[in-house]
């Protein structure tokens, strides 16, 4: 049975996820809508390319915080920590935050791809798993210089880490629910990167080299 508090938390998480960080910062401080430039994506990577490192880092951190905060909302519920109801609420809020980031009500439902917000969600679920995903991201980015590829592989490692790190924390239906969510999350991120995948296959994807050699 769906309880009223669950619906309210879901709506709150969606509204948090909907905060269009890159759009608001671009318009307020740079008189620029990042969605009209570069890849057209309202995310940290496009912000970095269009507005520079300072703006890109701020957008990245706030978008990560959005995901973490959405999961953390469950603390305010009446559900006991570690209970099935709490886990279900955390997953629901996490999904709502991703939905909000991709389809933000404050910005004409045209948002980002959800990578940074996904990282915040994983931090909220398990900081240890988030660190492992970050390691995957860093290694892939270092080798390939493709943020899109690094993002997809990092999030795609989530199901593996959750079955190893969380295997002794939960059991039964709650554990199955977490595993299902850990599979759904990468599928959403990969779907949002379908154009990037096409460019990667055609070797037309833009590289990001943070440490350029001085000539």
The 8-class DSSP code of residue 75 comes to: G
Residue whose tokens read 């390939």: 144
By three-state DSSP, how is residue 53 classified? helix
For the chain, 215 residues long, the average pLDDT of each consecutive 10-residue run is 82 96 94 90 90 94 96 90 84 95 93 93 92 96 94 95 74 74 93 94 84 48
The 8-class DSSP code of residue 214 comes to: P
Q: Per-residue b/e over 185-214, b at no fewer than 16 CB within 10 Å?
A: bbebbbebbeebeeebeeeebeeeeeeeee
pLDDT of residue 167: 66
pLDDT of residue 173: 63
pLDDT of residue 174: 67
Nearest to 39 by CA among 196, 188, 174: 196
Q: In degrees to the nearest 10, what's the CA dihedral of 141, 147, 153, 155? A: 120
Q: What is the pLDDT of residues 8-50, one digit of tens each?
A: 999 999 999 999 999 999 999 999 999 999 888 898 989 998 9
Residue whose tokens read 């079955």: 163
φ and ψ at 196, to 5 degrees? Answer: -65, -40
């Amino acid at each position: 049975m769906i309880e009223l508090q669950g619906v309210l938390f879901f709506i709150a998480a969606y509204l948090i996820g909907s905060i269009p960080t890159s759009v608001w910062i671009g318009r307020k401080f740079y008189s620029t809508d990042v969605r009209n430039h570069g890849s057209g994506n309202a995310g940290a990577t496009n912000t970095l390319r269009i507005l520079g490192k300072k703006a890109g880092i701020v957008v990245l951190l706030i978008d990560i915080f959005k995901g973490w905060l959405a999961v953390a909302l469950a603390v305010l519920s009446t559900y006991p920590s570690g209970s099935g109801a709490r886990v279900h609420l955390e997953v629901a809020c996490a999904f709502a935050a991703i939905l909000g980031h991709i389809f933000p009500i404050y910005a004409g439902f045209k948002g980002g791809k959800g990578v940074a917000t996904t990282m915040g969600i994983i931090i909220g679920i398990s900081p240890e798993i988030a660190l492992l995903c970050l390691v995957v991201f860093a290694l892939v980015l270092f080798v390939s210089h493709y943020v899109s590829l690094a993002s997809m592989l990092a999030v795609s490692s989530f199901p593996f880490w959750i079955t190893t790190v969380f295997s002794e924390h939960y059991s039964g239906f709650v554990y199955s629910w977490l595993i299902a969510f850990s599979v759904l999350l990468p599928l959403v991120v990969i779907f949002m990167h379908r154009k990037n995948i096409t460019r990667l296959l055609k070797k037309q994807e833009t590289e990001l080299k943070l440490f350029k050699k001085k000539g």
